[in-house]
Amino acid sequence: MSADMEGITGVMMVLCLIGLSNANTSPTIDSVVYNVCEDAPIDAHVFTIAASDAENDPLTYSLTAPNGDYFTVERNTGLVSIRTPLDREVSGNVMLLGVVVADGFNEIREELTIILGDANDNRPIFMNTPYDIEIAENTAVNTILFRAMATDEDTSNSGVVRYSIDEVTPNDGISLFTIVPITGEVKLTGQLNYTSLSTFYRLKINATDGGGKCFYDQTNYFSSIAFSFITVTDVPDLNPQFISIPYVGRVEENAPVGLSVFKVTALDQDTGVNDVMIYSIQDSTAEGLFAISATGVISVLSNIDREDIGDTVTLTVKATESKANIHGFQANTKAEVQINIIDVNDNTPHLYKCEDECVMESHFTGEVDEHWLGSVFINMTVKDLDKFAETSLTLEGGDKDVFSVQPALTMSDSIVQLQVKEPQKLDFEKIQQMVLQVIATDAKDHTFQSTATVTINIKDTNDNSPTFLQDTYKLNVVEHSPVGTILDTLTAKDPDTMDQGNITYKLLPDSILPYFDVNPHTGAVYVKNATLLDREVRSLYSATLQARDTDGKPGSTVLEITLTDINDHAPIINRDTYREFVKEGEALELPIEATDADDSDTKNSQIVFGIVPSKYSDNFTIGPDTGVLRNSGELDREALDPKLNGMIELNVTATDKGTPPLSTMVTVIINVEDVNDNTPQFKASSYKFSVKEGQKGAFVGSVQAEDLDQTAEFDRISFNIIEGSFGSFIIRTFAEERGYRGNITVDPDIELDYESARKQFRLQVEATDLEQKKAVVTVEVDVLDVNDERPEFKPSDPVTVKENTTISGPVGSFTAQDKDGNHLLVYQLESIKCRCDGSLTDCSWFILDPTGEVRVNPEQTVDYEECDQVLMEAQVVDKYTEKGENNSVTAGQMVINIEDINDNAPKFIFSDSVYVVVSENAGKGTSVAGVTATDRDSGINRQIEFKVAAVQFRDTNNQTGNTKIVFEAVTTQQKDIYIGIIQTTEALDTSLKGKYLVTVSATDTGDLSTSTVLEIFAVDVSYQVPLAFTRPQAVVEENIIDITRALSAATKAAVEIASIANAEASRVSGNTIIVAYFVYSNGTVLTTDEVVKMISDDPQQSRVLIELGLADIGKAPAIETETDPVKYALFGMVAGLVIVMAVLTTSLLCTRRNYKRKLKAAKAMNSAAMVTSDNQKSGPVVPGTNKYTMEGANPVLNLNIDTTMMLDMDEESSDVDKVSLNSLDSISYEKDKSNMMSIQEEEEEDDSGSPQYIEPLGAALAQRGQKKGSDDPHIGFSNPAFSTTDL
């Protein structure tokens, strides 16, 4: 091609390209509206820009304003992803996004509409906080207290807020408040009580939104917490109460009007009201004697006469509150006050004439023989109405010297007599009448006296009467002298000669004779009763010693017998107790008064006072002689134990100086009254707290102060912030058990700002008591940043703890972590569950410390046998969290495995079986009894070994003696139960009749053991009872349970089956013979005749037995007549040869059938011979015999052994496999092992199609035909002493 042509071609190609370019169309955006979740994460694909191009040119995508910075787009695919987080609440529900789509030739610009889907990403915010209120304690139930309100910026269900109360402090207030979930109205649901319940409640209110989701499938729920502080105010709703009752006071009679006697005190139980009391006397046993003041002081109102009103006056005192209570009336209470009236000497003694009754008299008469020497009865009695009277009697008048008055001094009502002093003046020839006056004077107050005239008429008598040398003899004798002690020998003179030596003596009056008497011939006065001679009861006795001559003429003298003192009475303190009130700092002076009934002139009545050592006795002294109690130092109420409430109790003793010294003790109660002498004291020199920013009303901390004064009126404290708050904090005062607490909180209207200039405040807090005594402390408050991360648990490894452990240290610990740098993690127990018998139940074996350490609960015992594993769940709380939840999202778990130790001894399982042994048939190895035991421990610790520890024999005469150990125990095991088979070690003595007492011990591997005693009755074979039945043996065996039940019901005895056999073998009428024993639990065995009688006496059971085929009882096998043994031996040999030939012939014809049966038995024997077991004690074992020694193999023992299990027969084995092991009894085992092996090989070749069995013994058992209609293929008998082989 030429150059020109090439140029033309190039130009044409360019023109074509320009035309094609102008013909290309722009791409189009198919959709401009897209939905995007606001919670889509960065780089998440949220939508694909839908665009197309008519020429299918490849498209490119890019983003522009507006809002292009929020998204990114893949250039070639249009897949849009998130670049920066979205927030619907900031951006609004819809946002525009600029998009550019190009196809390489053209581009199109469009603004897409992005609809932001709401995700639940905002928490509810409480409004109008705080919710602190005060309410009266009688506020009605269902009253709306306030309304909590929270808002949520989310939409739809995410913005719906529901309210709940999560916690109430204290916990018992949870039932008092409720909140309406929808409206947030908090209602009172229980009755408040300022006195018995709390006065302050803190409600933890939870606001939770309805939850929502958008980008993620998981629904989010958010909640917030607000606290409400509710203060309960007191109202007057309780009655007042008297304190320190019972009330007992004392006052002397004739006390001046207005004298204070006693003070009662009543307090208002409404402690928050503390109303003033008004006191009044409502009733009195003696009206008008006392009055009570407004302060409760009882005083004398009018004159008091003890002789008129008695020793005691009882007042009923009423205390009434000054203001009306909530019910509209004034509450009141009553108490009784006992006032003891103390006697004073205010009565004159008077003289009385007493016959039927005593009458005051001023003139008395009497008669006396001339020259009479003795007492003159004038019918006079002296009385003084005072309680402790002492009256002296004297004579006046012209003839007063002739007489004396007796008694001269008396302390009680006494008969007054005149004693002739000068009998020579009683001369009838000179004077016939004498007049004198008797004067009774109060010895304590001589102004009290009375006088009476006594006229004595003198009678004429024989002048020659016996006379004593003295008119009065004063005799002394020690009180309580022995009987027969001679005081003195007194004799009288008579001038008549016929009376010389013939005078007799007598003591008068008769009332003196219980105390003293006189020898009638010698005149010796002696003690008659030592016990009655008590000087403190009566120190002076007056008696007349009378002498008579032979004509009966008397002469007398007066005896004044004085008892000398011994120390036989302890001092008596005049009060049962002393109570004194004294203000602290003042002096105490309290006289303690005591008297001693012993002689005042001796040391026996001299009293020394002392104080019994006690906690506060060193603070007091007492005058040893005066008895005045004083404080040795200043009394300080605050130095006393506050529990004493200012009361000091001392024990004061009054001891005499006699030998031996005697003492009496009295309690002295000193009430130290408080005064305000202490200034409040803070418990710390300074305080430092911190508080999170931005929390209105947040709790900052507490300051504590105490005023050592011990009464409420002096120790009450109030707190104030006096400096440094800048209006940001408030403080409230609360009472504590000791002192007061000031809770500092952020002002509810203030939000602290950590970013501001004030990150620390120095507050000056002042504590002031009621009398304005003050103390100031500095409180530093740091403003902290917010902690908002929740703690998380680390996995806990399983822990192993031995049972019964008592370790106090930790056995494991929970560990958690918190991403916040400033945190305090405290662990709280959520639940403890123990795995007991495979199921989890609540328990309290372990405790969790706040530090996360797990310890054994010292009040509980860890027991592996009860539970083998413990699952603990715990929660961890960050105590420093101020925003958001402060606990972990999921609970921590710890598995504690309990390790078993050997702490349980084996325990025997009770059995009521009766064990019997037939001595004649019991050889070595015969099983006669069995025991079972378990051990609660596990593993090797529960293994048990049985042993026969001792054997005794008790004969029929109940005589018990030791014998050698003829039994042994063989230990086997069935699941968790250990079985001890008791068997004989040698043949038993057949001469012994009675029972064996076998002591069997069970010991585990830790040498813990227990024992039991088995009673094994020795029975003679003569007690066998044969029972003939008309039914075949198979039918009888099938009905054996019903037969045994009927026999036992008829005889009331345990029926022990010895054997079941065909009747032909014993030639007894009937088809089957059962040989049985009938034994009672005490070992008594029935004879055949007794069995026959009992069955005959029970028609019902007889009818049952006849229906079961019973034909005869007690018919023994027939005894054959003696014959020539040689002849029968020859016949036997011939018959034997014939039988052998017949057997051989039959065997050839029925080889397969016979071989099959014999082979099964041979297999069983071979298997049994090769068995090895830890429990097998001897050589090859044969089923159906007592040679079985392996576990569960003896079919004759009365043990609950699952034969199917012990022979490894599974549940699918046929009933034929489980027939009694006695089926092999008739098989001969005489062939040697080699023959058995050859038969086995032949059988295996010939019987390939027969069923396969796991055990050879199972194969042998399967060949025994099951009886038709039998539902009970295995029958066990209760007597372990018998088997078909033994009998």
In DSSP notation, 787-833 reads --PPPEEPP---EEEETT----S-SEE--EE-SSSS--EEEEEEEEE
pLDDT of residue 879: 86
pLDDT of residue 609: 93
- What is the pairing mode between strands 358-360 and 350-354? antiparallel
pLDDT of residue 155: 85
The tokens for 766 are 């002042």
Closest to 673 in 3D by CA, of 263, 1173, 1176: 263
Separation of alpha carbons 928 and 981, rounded Å: 8
Q: Which residues make beta-bridge pairs with 495?
A: none
* DSSP single-letter state for residue 1131: H
Query: Which residues in the chain come in under a pLDDT of 50?
Result: 1-9, 11, 14-22, 1065-1069, 1116-1123, 1154-1155, 1164-1287
Name residue, tokens 């004969």: 955
The tokens for 96 are 């525009």
pLDDT of residue 1283: 37
The tokens for 606 are 């001299």
pLDDT of residue 746: 93
Separation of alpha carbons 768 and 707, rounded Å: 9
pTM for the model stands at 0.33
pLDDT of residue 964: 86
Map 902-971 to HEC letters.
CCCCCEECCCCCCEEEECCCCCCCCEEEEEEEECCCCHHHHCEEEEEEEEEEEECCCCEEECCCCEEEEE
3-state secondary structure (DSSP) of residue 749: coil
pLDDT of residue 767: 93
Length of the chain: 1287
Separation of alpha carbons 908 and 944, rounded Å: 11
Q: Write the Ramachandran bin of 296: left for phi over 0, alpha for psi from -120 to 50, otherwise beta.
A: left
Is residue 117 within 8 A of residue 34, CB to CB? The reply is no
pLDDT of residue 1153: 52
Mind listing the pLDDT tens digit for each residue in 541-577?
Answer: 999 999 998 888 899 999 999 988 888 888 999 888 9
pLDDT of residue 755: 65
Cα separations in angstroms, 692 against 635, 689, 749: 49, 10, 15
Separation of alpha carbons 1187 and 1184, rounded Å: 8
- What is the pairing mode between strands 760-769 and 774-784? antiparallel
**Residue type, position 1259, single letter:** A
**Residue type, position 898, single letter:** I
User: For the chain, how far is it from start to end, CA to CA, in angstroms?
Assistant: 137
pLDDT of residue 180: 95
Q: Write the Ramachandran bin of 573: left for phi over 0, alpha for psi from -120 to 50, otherwise beta.
A: beta
pLDDT of residue 756: 77
Closest to 770 in 3D by CA, of 638, 685, 674: 674
> 128-162 as b/e, with b when 16 or more CB fall inside 10 Å?
ebbbbeebebbeeeeeebbebbbebebbeebbbbb
Separation of alpha carbons 286 and 300, rounded Å: 12
pLDDT of residue 1209: 39
pLDDT of residue 877: 93
Separation of alpha carbons 1102 and 1029, rounded Å: 13
Separation of alpha carbons 1233 and 1169, rounded Å: 10
Separation of alpha carbons 1173 and 487, rounded Å: 107
Separation of alpha carbons 413 and 382, rounded Å: 6
